[in-house]
A and B are shown apart, each in its own frame.
Chain A
């Protein structure tokens, strides 16, 4: 493969496809048996009903919901259940990917759980389940361990506890509804622990997070589309701007971040907007030593799904170039969520412009670097 060759015509010709956002679909009852004390005794009450539910109780809803009416809820899109290693392999086969980073399902809403200590306990239970029931060092999929942002010190302990596991390759912060934003000092113990463990930090929102961080907007919109279009990138920008302003990439120079699932058009926009404002307000971010967008180029990565504009290659190629996507973009499917991208969607759009080398980077090599696969 020569440096400037453009020979890849089909997804089957890409050497190594790593899916950097493949979801499990754990439910509350999946992880309840993995709770540790004191919450095991508190919640795993044997009432003869579904675990964690007592008659007349509300325990089935410890993870808040925003009540959105989605294509999954109307049955128009039929989402697969991914709760066993065999489920994972079936989904990976369908998507045509060689390796996958497994990310949570219900626990994307962990940051909204009202009881902080319980949220931390759920993170531990999820990681117990992940390691016990799903991951295996011999398999071609790996885990992002999850932490609860509500309890940064416990999150740091959790990272230390799992850091030695071979099949754990990242720390997942469910960013939806997390307040204050992730640049604030209270979260530094998480970044310190992740840096020490050599694990990248992944930040993934959930549309449901709107009830936590944008309650007025939740009240003011009455359709799911009005939440999903602006809110996903808005919340990522909210976390990201505070990470830069607090100098997190300077404080933790060996830490990398992976921003997930909110499209890619906003990335070049955000970079230029922040740089432009920084020229006039650099005192707001006194720790930065380089142009802010250089930190994004050096320490931040972005997952590809949902690739809006995939039917317009000219647009998509330009956008990907504008944030140096050949180095910073990571292919992701988001399977099995209803808005997943089949693995060739991005390729079809990039193929006219991008070299084989660059395509291999986006589909696997960048991820292999970030997650040390």
Chain B
């Protein structure tokens, strides 16, 4: 996130409902914007694995174990799956679920002004 970069208009906020996403092109880059609980998150739609459309797959949580060893499903819809091979990326941080320190999709700052949604890039 470069604070000095300009804001780019993406859409009216009411065009992007809660739980929804849209994919737009800004300065030649495909950017996905997600509305999760009325917070907006922007990520590059380009997968750091093999270049697939990282933000076009299903949303998902993660299946994990609690302290008692029981399976639990957590962080529902906090991840987007790249449809090519199913890698999961956290939509807020862009980090991969499996290798958070090694692989991340670039994220961008979003802003809302007067009912309009912007991405800084």
In the assembled complex, B106 has its CB within 8 A of some CB on chain A:
no
Q: Is the CB of B50 within 8 A of A77?
A: no
Give Cα A77–Cα B84 distance, bound, in whole angstroms. 6
Q: Identify the closest chain B residue to A80 (Cβ).
A: B83
Interface residues of B in 31-54 (CB under 8 A from A): 50-52
Q: Is the interface of A mostly helix, strand, loop or mixed?
A: loop
Tally of contacts, chain A with chain B, CB under 8 A: 35
Q: Does A71 touch B at the CB level, under 8 Å?
A: yes
A76's contact among B50, B52, B57, by CB below 8 Å, is which? Answer: B57
Q: Are A75 and B58 in contact, CB atoms less than 8 angstroms apart?
A: yes
* Contact indicator per residue, chain B 62-86, by CB within 8 Å of chain A (1) or not (0): 0000000000000000000101111
From residue 341 to 355 of chain A, which have CB atoms closer than 8 A to chain B? 341-342, 344-345
Of the residues B50, B51, B52, B85, contact of A71 by C-beta under 8 Å: B85
- Given A71-B85, A77-B84, A78-B83, the answer on whether A342 and B58 have CB atoms closer than 8 Å is no
**Which 5 pairs of residues, A with B, have the shortest CB-CB distance?**
A77-B86, A76-B86, A71-B86, A78-B83, A342-B50
Q: Which positions in B face A, CB cutoff 8 Å?
A: 50-52, 57-58, 60, 81, 83-86, 88
Q: List 22 A-B contacts (CB under 8 A).
A: A71-B85, A74-B86, A75-B58, A75-B81, A76-B57, A76-B60, A76-B88, A77-B57, A77-B81, A77-B83, A77-B84, A77-B85, A78-B57, A78-B58, A338-B85, A338-B86, A339-B85, A340-B85, A341-B50, A342-B50, A342-B52, A344-B51
Given A77-B83, A77-B86, A342-B52, 18 more A-B residue pairs with CB atoms under 8 Å apart are A74-B60, A74-B86, A75-B57, A75-B81, A76-B60, A76-B81, A77-B57, A77-B81, A77-B84, A78-B57, A78-B58, A78-B83, A340-B85, A342-B50, A342-B51, A342-B84, A344-B51, A345-B50
